[in-house]
Amino acid sequence: EPEVTQTPSHQVTQMGQEVILRCVPISNHLYFYWYRQILGQKVEFLVSFYNNEISEKSEIFDDQFSVERPDGSNFTLKIRSTKLEDSAMYFCASSGTQDQPQHFGDGTRLSIL
């Protein structure tokens, strides 16, 4: 069964550094999402992406965050200058249409020191 893949599985970074989290969505999916989950808490929406542009973003997704689909397969989340509170699991998800279920990757655990 096709799946969403994310790399790296764990990223440790000094505060203030830039990080790029990578995702390869399911190949025929058109809608892409980033979510994050702080340890022990619920999954929170960050941003959705369709047709090569952001369709919606949450208040968490401030100017330090950006997303990109640099080629036909990858979908990246960049945090320009990381803060301690950015430490969380970051999940990428994709769906075929807006109404179809979203399939999640294994996540990247981001640890900011």
* Kind of pairing between the strands at 103-104 and 88-95: antiparallel
53 binds other proteins, rule: CB under 8 A: no
Q: How far is the CB of 56 from other proteins (least distance, A)?
A: 5
61 binds other proteins, rule: CB under 8 A: no
DSSP string, 16-70: T--EEEEEE--TT--EEEEEEE-TTS--EEEEEEETTEEEEE-TT--TTEEEE--
75 binds other proteins, rule: CB under 8 A: no
Contact pick of 31, 67, 86, 112 for other proteins (by CB under 8 A):
31
Contact pick of 75, 95, 110, 112 for other proteins (by CB under 8 A):
95
94 binds other proteins, rule: CB under 8 A: no
Q: Residue 27 carries which side chain, given as an amino acid letter?
A: S
Count CA within 13 A, CB hemisphere, residue 19. 25
Binding stretches for other proteins (CB under 8 A):
31, 33, 35, 41-45, 48, 55-56, 58, 89, 91, 95, 98-107
